[in-house]
Chains A and B, each alone.
Chain A
Amino acid sequence: AQTVTQSQPEMSVQEAETVTLSCTYDTSESDYYLFWYKQPPSRQMILVIRQEAYKQQNATENRFSVNFQKAAKSFSLKISDSQLGDAAMYFCAYRNRFMEYGNKLVFGAGTILRVKS
């Protein structure tokens, strides 16, 4: 079974600075997707960024980018120019690309990000 580990329960960053959230995963599959979700206090789950394992290029979405190291099974999220609105719980998630049923997402435990003004 696949597992996702987020080793940082909490992180803090100064407004306008850069922060990196860590994620490692374990799988025997070679074709899969990785995701970062943001959960603000409203409880809504918001997809921040996704990465296809077959793509070598790291995904980027505005101020959010990832460092995908397939051999090391590492998938970190970098937030540049941090804003107060970035304060939230962040979840790393994994999904096999090909599954007969379900395409189930497996989540890490989450990292709380605090942004200081």
Chain B
Amino acid sequence: DAGITQSPRHKVTETGTPVTLRCHQTENHRYMYWYRQDPGHGLRLIHYSYGVKDTDKGEVSDGYSVSRSKTEDFLLTLESATSSQTSVYFCAIGQASNYGYTFGSGTRLTVV
């Protein structure tokens, strides 16, 4: 969607390697989120940020870390990728005054 980009769009990696996914926004939104999408589970929150250097865990945070050093960038790192982390990852942005979120186009990550 306009104003939010994710990179890469697709990635294949090997078990045990670190992986970093990037989310970049141009909307100056305070809140940023990382979700993963898996069949039968919908989207589940991994981590979120409510400001620069302010982050917190979501419901499926094990094995993931995040960083936000600038308002526009929110990085998701898989410290040591496992096959269970094969998924589609979405970044989203939001404002307290807005009702919904704006989502990026997603990253399909395959861990082999």
Contact = CB atoms under 8 A, between A and B. Distances in A.
Interface of A: 4, 6, 9, 33, 35, 42-45, 47, 50, 52, 91, 95, 101-110
Q: Name the prevailing secondary structure of the A interface residues.
A: loop
B31 A102 contact: yes
Contacts of B60: none
Contact of B106 (A4, A43, A91, A109): A43
Interface of B: 1, 31, 33, 35, 40-45, 48, 50, 54, 56, 58, 88, 90, 92, 94, 96, 99-101, 103, 105-106
B90 A45 contact: yes
B44 A107 contact: yes
Contacts of A91: 42-43
B103 A44 contact: yes
Contacts of A109: 40-42
Interface of B is mostly: strand
Contact of B56 (A43, A47, A101): A101
Nearest to B48: A102
Nearest to A39: B37
Contacts of A110: 42
Contacts of B58: 104
A50 B109 CA distance: 30
Given A45-B90, A109-B42, A110-B42, A104 B48 contact: yes
A33 B101 CA distance: 12
Most buried by B among A4, A43, A45, A107: A45
A6 B33 CA distance: 22
B99 A33 contact: yes
24 contacts: A33-B99, A35-B99, A35-B100, A43-B105, A44-B1, A44-B103, A45-B90, A45-B92, A91-B42, A91-B43, A95-B99, A101-B50, A101-B56, A102-B33, A102-B50, A103-B31, A104-B45, A105-B43, A105-B45, A105-B101, A107-B43, A109-B40, A109-B41, A109-B42
B31 A44 contact: no
